[in-house]
Amino acid sequence: MADREHRLFVPQDMLDLWMSEEHVDVDGEVLTLRQGGQRFQLKTAVCFLEEVTEGGDEAKLLGKVKDLEQLGELGGEHVSDSVILGEAAYQVAEGFVGEPIFEDGPAAPVAETGDPHIDQITKFFLGRR
């Protein structure tokens, strides 16, 4: 697996759009770009958007992404678009964290898809410019 600097959060609605426009395929927990075939390991995750109890963000989670395993380690309870952590309640965006799956051997060149957003994300995932 790649190091954490190449992890990227993909909101569920964005993934749905990419699938409906046939830019990606998802098989289980693996996302594959149709152009170029690069694969990514997906984990269900949330992005913390807002602390809604006005008790403050003591855990310093606003703007951060946590996969469900990390959330469990923190003692958080995830339900729909909310996370409860101690006395705090957060509104979250549901989605996935993806990490590139590298095959053995030299890295293949990044194939352009024609969609600047997908191309930029692919290059970010792979640590390329």
- Cβ–Cβ under 8 Å, residues 15 and 107: no
Give residue-wise pLDDT tens across range 107-122.
555 667 677 767 666 6
Looking at residue 111, what is its pLDDT? 65
Percent of the chain with pLDDT over 70: 78
Q: Tell me the pTM.
A: 0.72
Q: State the Cα–Cα distance between residues 78 and 90, nearest whole angstrom.
A: 9
Containing structural domain, residue 12: 4-126
Looking at residue 81, what is its pLDDT? 94
3-state secondary structure 57-108: CCCCCCCCEEEHHHHHHHCCEEECCEEEECCEEEEEEEEEEEEEECCCCCCC
Q: State the Cα–Cα distance between residues 92 and 77, nearest whole angstrom.
A: 12
Count of domains observed in the chain: 1
Q: State the Cα–Cα distance between residues 1 and 16, nearest whole angstrom.
A: 24
